[in-house]
Amino acid sequence: MSKWRNIAFYTLIIAFLSGIMFAAGCTLIKDITPKEETSQRQEGIADASLPGVGPDTIANIVDKVSPAVVKITTVVEVAGYNNNPFQNDPFFRQFFGISPQPQYQSGLGSGFIISKDGYILTNEHVIDAAQEISVLVKGHQKPFEAKLVGADPSMDLAVLKIEGNNFPTLNLGDSNKIRVGNWVIAIGSPFGLEDTVTIGVISAKERPLEIDNRTFEHLLQTDASINPGNSGGPLLNLNGEVIGINTAINAQAQGIGFAIPTSTVKEIIDDLIKQGKVQRPWLGVQIQQVTPDIANYLGYEGSTGAVIFGVVPGGPADKAGIKEGDIVLTIDGTKIEDPNTLIKTLQKTKIGAKVEVEVFRKGKTINISVEAAERPANIK
């Protein structure tokens, strides 16, 4: 009997100790779980309870910013004749003394309000040569008549003004902080369909592109749908800030659109509002990269510099004696590594100031003094 009592006693002790260990294990697990969840959140695992993350994020941004996005309609005069087929015959027009009658075309674009008193930012090509500019603001039945305040064809930017107060506005964000892969939102009036919203990501940055004889160096590329009529509308980050102005699409591709970054806009917007234009120093030359073939042809043993392949007749460089085939080596002592260096160096020059240009020509290095002029308005 004492043998069975001993067995029962030891069994109770083992059961008691097992219970204590189980309870301690539960407590340990209970203590660890919150730390693991916190660690997961810190590592960026999606959590709908976190601020700014959820199924309505983009919808909330659109509700907030869309009242400041406007539809722009223009009227442009174009040369032409009425639909009478005889008026298209030169002999008929000369015999009856018929002169061309002005014809008008309408244009569409987008823009956004940047100040409560009605300043609007858009593309220059949206309002180029327009006789009339109308702006439709959300919440207003009738469009506003807009006045052109300033425009810069080379950057494809323009500022308009409508009369009124307390307009909704958008803030210009920092395009330098946007990263490839970040979500973006485009709002505008493609084909006249105002308040159209599309989303995508930043596909690339610092894209060089030539559009309608305009040369851009720092465009943002996005796969957000951008169509005719979107031009001048905002490209926004998920804070509802403008990081780009939608300006072009690639007609031969899908999902490739471009926007002018706000870093470019901020450099000139004050000049557009205060002066109506951006004054830029100009030498009147066309430049290109020094390639091995060009260097060999010109007898140049270096690889840096900018090759002059065109000189504008009557321009500052032409008057000073700069010629096609010259290679610009320095400007006022600053070494010219490539065409971009030349452009950036020239931008620091005041209009009317003389600059010393060192060029390579036919195996010799010569110095030429050139007076920088203001860039003509008709050169984009």
Among 261, 275, 265, 289, which residue's Cα sits nearest to residue 351?
A: 275
Among 66, 110, 156, 326, the active-site one is 156
260 within 8 A of 205, measured Cβ to Cβ:
no
DSSP 8-state code for residue 316: H
Query: CA-to-CA distance for 222 and 216, rounded, in angstroms?
Result: 16
Strands 234-236 and 242-249: antiparallel
| Token output for 192 | 């006249």
Whether 56 sits among the annotated catalytic residues: the reply is: no
Whether 231 sits among the annotated catalytic residues: the reply is: yes
Whether 156 sits among the annotated catalytic residues: the reply is: yes
Q: What share of the chain is helix, strand, coil (3-state, %, to 5)?
A: 30, 35, 35
Q: How many residues does the chain have?
A: 380
Question: Helix/strand/coil (H, E, C) string of 78-114?
Answer: ECCCCCCHHHHCHHHHHHHCCCCCCEEEEEEEEEEEC
User: If you compute the radius of gyration of the chain from its CA atoms, what whole number of angstroms results?
Assistant: 32
Cα–Cα separations (whole angstroms), residue 249 to 101, 230, 254: 34, 10, 9
Q: What are the φ/ψ torsions at residue 33 (nearest 5 degrees)?
A: -55, -50
Among 66, 110, 125, 189, the active-site one is 125
Among 189, 231, 263, 326, the active-site one is 231
Active-site residue set? 125, 156, 231
